[in-house]
Amino acid sequence: MNRRQRLMQAVSDRTNPIVVKELRQAVQSRLVIAILLLFLLTNVLVVSGFLLLTIDATTNERGGQDLFDGLFVVLVSTCMVFVPLYAAIRLTMERNDSNIDLLFITTIAPAAIIRGKFWAAVALTALIYSASMPYLTITYLLRGIDLPSIFFALGVAFLCTAIVTMLAIFVGSIAGGLLLRILVFGGLLWLGGCMMAYTLMIGLSVVEMGLASIFSRRDGWGAFGISVAFGITAWGLFYLLAVAAISARSSNRMFPVRVFVTACWLIFGVIAGVCTLAYSSEWPVLIWSVASIALLSLILGFTLAERENWTPRVRRYIPRSTPLRFLAWLFYTGSAGGVVWCCALSAATLLGGYQVVGEFTPVVGRSPAKDVFEVMTGVLLFAWCYSMSGLLVRRLIFPKSVPLAGTTLGLALMGVCGTLPLLLSYLIRGPNWRFDSLPVIFAVFNPLVLQRPAADRTEVLVLLSVWGIFGLVVNIPWFLHQWHAFRRHEPKPIPLAPSLVMEPPVIHV
Amino acid sequence: MDVKVDNLKRHFGGTKAVDGISFTFSSGHIFGFVGPNGAGKTTTMRILATLDEPTDGDATVDGVSVVDYPEKARHLVGFMPDTLPTHRDMTVHEYLDFFARAYGLRGLKRDSLVERVEEFTSLSRIRGKFLKDLSKGMKQRVSLARALVHDPPVLVLDEPAAGLDPRARIELRELLKVLAEQGKAILVSSHILTELSEICNGAVIIEQGRLLRAGGMDHIVSSDSLDRTVVIRCDGPAEELHRELIQTPLVREARMIGAAVEADVTGGDDVCGELLRYLIFKQLRIVEFHQRRVDLEDVFMTVTKGQVQ
C-alpha cells in the first residue's frame, strides 16, 4: 500500500460510517441524479433565457444582479426544499423499517447517527452548490454585482439550509403515529417556508444594496449577530431533540436537551440583561422573557409525557449525595423532575423579568411591558393548571396508562373546559352574547381571557393561582414517589478474566 | 463462555411479556428457543442483544451484564432479527462494510473480516448485487453475515429459517453447525421444531412469558412427566398382542401398525420395563420392543397450551 492509499484508508476509517453509507446510497439514487439533472437544466434555461431575452445584457448596469437573483432563487429552492425533504424521508423510512434498531447494537452512538445524516446532507448541499458555481460565475462577468455580496448571500443560504436540514432530520427521527407525523411535517413546512423567505430576503437585498448596507451600521451588526445566535441555537436544539428521538427509550435522553435549554436560557438572559443596561430599554429582557416563557410552557406539557421510572442504565449514573441527586433529578429524563426543572426556570424568568421591567415602569400608571408580563404569567399558569389537572385525571381514572396520557388529557381538558362555558352562555343568552361579557369565574378556563382588560386579568391570575396550588397539592404524592424511586443502582463488577476455555454445556433451570 | 439469563422479567404495562425466566447455555452449543407466537421469545432476545431493558432480572454474557454494561456486551453478541435488510440503493458488500465500520473495525482488519464473512456465508459471488434484488434466502444470509461481521462469540438468531425453501434451510442448518464447531454459543428461535431437534444441543420452551422447560435435549425429551410410546412386534399375529396390550392398565392406548403395535404407556421407563415383563409373562414371543424417540415437537405439544396474552 503506497502513501496515498494509506492516507485514503486513514480518511475512510475516520469518516463517520453513516456519512459513508448515506453518500454511497445518494450516488446510486435515481432521485438524487434526477434532481441534479433538473437543477442543471433549470440553471441552463435561466442563463440562456436571460442572455437571449435581455438585449443589453452585457452593458446593463444591473445585468449581473438580475441574473444572480434568478439563479439564487433556483439554488435556494433546490437546497432548502430537496435536501431537507430527502434527509427527512430517508430517516423516516429507516425508522419505519425498524432497521435503525440494528444500529443500536453496534458501537455507534445515536449522536453519531444524527451527525452522519447531517454531514451527508451538507455534502449533498455542497454538491448542488458546486453544480451551480459555473453559472454563478457568469453573473460576476456581468455588471452590477460584487464578489463579497455573492459570497455572503451564498453563505447565508448555506447556513439556513443547514438549519432547515437539521429541523427535517428531527422530524424524520420522530417515531409516532400518522397524525403526529402530519402535524410535525406541517410545522416543518411552515418553518422551512419562513426560513426560505428569510434567506431569499437577506440574499437578494444584500446583492441589491451591497454588504455595506448591513455592516456599516451598529444595529446591522446587532441584527446579524442575533440571527446567527438564533440560528445556532435552533440548530443545536433540533440536533439534541433528534438525538433524543432516536435514542433508546430507556436511555437518559432528555439530559442533554435540558442542559442545552438551561445554558441557552442563561446565556440569552445575560445578553438581554447587558443590552437592557446598555440601551436603557426594558425590551431586550422583555423579548427574552416572552420567548423563554412561551418555550417553557410548551416544554411543561410535553415533560409530563416522559418516563416515570428509571432502568439500571440510567440509575447507575445517579449521584449518591442528596444535593447532587436532586440536581440530577431535575436534569435527567423523568416527568416529575422535568416539571420541577421547567417551573424553576419559569419562576426565575418571571422574577428576573419583573425586577428589570419594574426599574423602567413609571410609579403611577401602567406600562405595556407590565401588561405583557401579566399575560405571560397567565400563559404559564394555564400550562401548569391544565398539566396538573390532566395528570390528576390520569392518576385517578387511568392509573395504568402511559405517561403521554397525562399530556393528552390536559389538552383535552383545555379544549372541553375552554369551550363548554362559552357554548352554555351562547345557548342561554343567544347570538348577541360576547366573550367579554362572560363573568370571569366562567371565562377563567379559556386562555383567551388573558386578552381582557387589566382589572379582569388580576382576578384571572388570582383564580389561576388558586387552581394551580390545588393542582400542586393533589399531585404531591406523584412528585414524592418519583423522587424516592430516583436512586442509584450499583452495577455488578465485570469479571477480570473472562473465560476463554470452551466448556461442556452447563444447564440450569 | 456462558450466557446466563437470570430471573428475567419484562412487563409492558399490565402485560408480562417475559415473567421470570432463567436458563444458561455455553460456547460450542446451539440452543433452541421455542414457544408459541407472543410467548416472549423476541423480547428476551432483544434484551440479550441490549436493544431492550428488563423490568427486573439480568442476563450476562461471559459475566458481562447486558443491563449494566450494554456497550461491552454489544461486542460479544451478534443479533439477527426477524426482519430482513431493506436498505435501498445499497449492495451486499456496502451493507456489510457499513456495519463493520459501525462496530468500529478499521482498515485492513475490516476488509479481511468482511471478505471472510462473505466467503463463509457464500455471498462473495453476489457482493455487488443490490439488497432489494436478492431473494429471501439470500437476504437471510446477508442478515446472518451482518450478525457475524464483528466476530462475536455469542449469536442470537430470531427466526432465521422463516420463509426459507428446503435447500436454504439445509444450508442455514449447516452454517449453524459450523459456527457451533467454531465455538460460538448460539441461541436460535424457530417454529420449525423438527429442524431444531436435529441441530440443537438444548432447548428452552416458554409460553406466556413463563419458562416451561429448559435444558439439554436429552434432559428435555426424557423428562419424567412425559409418557412413553413403545413399538412392539411379536412372532405371531399382531391382533393377539393388541388384545393383550389394551387389557393391561399399563397401556392407555394401542394401535396396530402393520405387523407391529404402537402403545402409549402410562408412565416412564419403569412402566415400560414392567410392560415388557408382563408380555413375556404372557408367553408372547417378543422380537422387537423399543421406545419411539420423543422429539422436541412432542415435548412442545405436551407442555404448551397454545395460550397467548
Per-residue model confidence (pLDDT) at position A499 = 43
C-alpha A344/C-alpha A251 separation (Å) is 24
Cβ-defined contact of B24 to A506 (cutoff 8 Å): yes
User: For residue A493, is pLDDT > 60?
Assistant: yes
Please give, one letter per residue, the 3-state secondary structure of A21-38: HHHHHHHCCHHHHHHHHH
Helix, strand, coil abundance in chain B, percent, nearest 5: 40, 30, 30
Residues B28/B30/B31/B34 CA torsion (nearest 10 deg): 170
Measure in Å the smallest separation between the Cα of A158 and chain B Cα atoms.
27
Task: Please give the interface size between A and B, counted as residue pairs whose CB atoms are below 8 Å apart.
Answer: 139
Instruction: Give mean pLDDT, residues B264-283.
Output: 87
Measure in Å the smallest separation between the Cα of B272 and chain A Cα atoms.
27
User: Measured between beta carbons, which residues in chain A are less than 8 angstroms from residue B107?
Assistant: 9, 13
**Is residue A25 less than 8 Å (CB to CB) from chain B?**
yes
In one-letter notation, the amino acid at residue B179 is L
How many Å separate Cα A118 from the centre of its chain?
15
Q: Which residue has the cell 394401535?
A: B255
Average pLDDT for chain B: 86
Cβ-defined contact of A20 to B214 (cutoff 8 Å): no
Cβ-defined contact of A98 to B83 (cutoff 8 Å): yes
Measure in Å the smallest separation between the Cα of A125 and chain B Cα atoms.
20
Per-residue model confidence (pLDDT) at position B222 = 66
Instruction: Give mean pLDDT, residues B179-183.
Output: 89
Please give the DSSP secondary-structure letter assigned to residue A278.
Answer: H
CA distance to A195, A233, A288, per residue, from A228 (Å):
13, 9, 16
User: For residue A435, is pLDDT > 60?
Assistant: yes
Cβ-defined contact of B214 to A25 (cutoff 8 Å): no
**Is residue B202 less than 8 Å (CB to CB) from chain A?**
yes
Per-residue model confidence (pLDDT) at position B306 = 65
Neighbours of A66 (CB within 10 A): 18
Confidence class for position A475, pLDDT limits 50, 70, 90: very high
Cβ-defined contact of A21 to B90 (cutoff 8 Å): yes
Q: What is the pTM of this model?
A: 0.80
Domains in chain B (CATH in brackets) are 2-221 (3.40.50.300), 228-293 (3.30.70.330)
Pick A499's closest partner by Cβ from B52, B62, B99.
B62
Cβ-defined contact of A24 to B22 (cutoff 8 Å): no
Cβ-defined contact of A509 to B215 (cutoff 8 Å): yes
Per-residue model confidence (pLDDT) at position B307 = 64
* pLDDT digit string, tens, across residues A187-207: 778 888 888 888 888 888 888
Nearest residue on chain A to B54, alpha-carbon basis? A311
Please give the DSSP secondary-structure letter assigned to residue A498.
Answer: -
Pick A21's closest partner by Cβ from B51, B98, B106.
B98
Measure in Å the smallest separation between the Cα of A422 and chain B Cα atoms.
38
Among the listed ranges A100-109, A244-253, A277-286, B78-87, which one has the minimum average pLDDT value?
A: A100-109
Cβ atoms of residues B89 and A25 within 8 Å: yes
Nearest residue on chain A to B24, alpha-carbon basis? A507
Measure in Å the smallest separation between the Cα of B122 and chain A Cα atoms.
22
Please give the DSSP secondary-structure letter assigned to residue A435.
Answer: G
Measure in Å the smallest separation between the Cα of A261 and chain B Cα atoms.
28
Per-residue model confidence (pLDDT) at position B213 = 82
Cβ-defined contact of A108 to B102 (cutoff 8 Å): yes
User: For residue B68, is pLDDT > 90?
Assistant: no
- Chosen from B48, B83, B89, B110 to mutate, greatest number of chain A CBs within 10 A: B89
Q: Rounded to the nearest 5°, which phi and psi values hold at A137?
A: -60, -35
Q: Which residue has the cell 430537496?
A: A82
* pLDDT digit string, tens, across residues A173-182: 887 667 777 7
User: For residue A480, is pLDDT > 80?
Assistant: yes
**DSSP letter string over B170-185?**
HHHHHHHHHHHHTT-E
Instruction: Give mean pLDDT, residues A416-432.
Output: 81
Per-residue model confidence (pLDDT) at position A498 = 42
Instruction: Give mean pLDDT, residues A23-31.
Output: 88
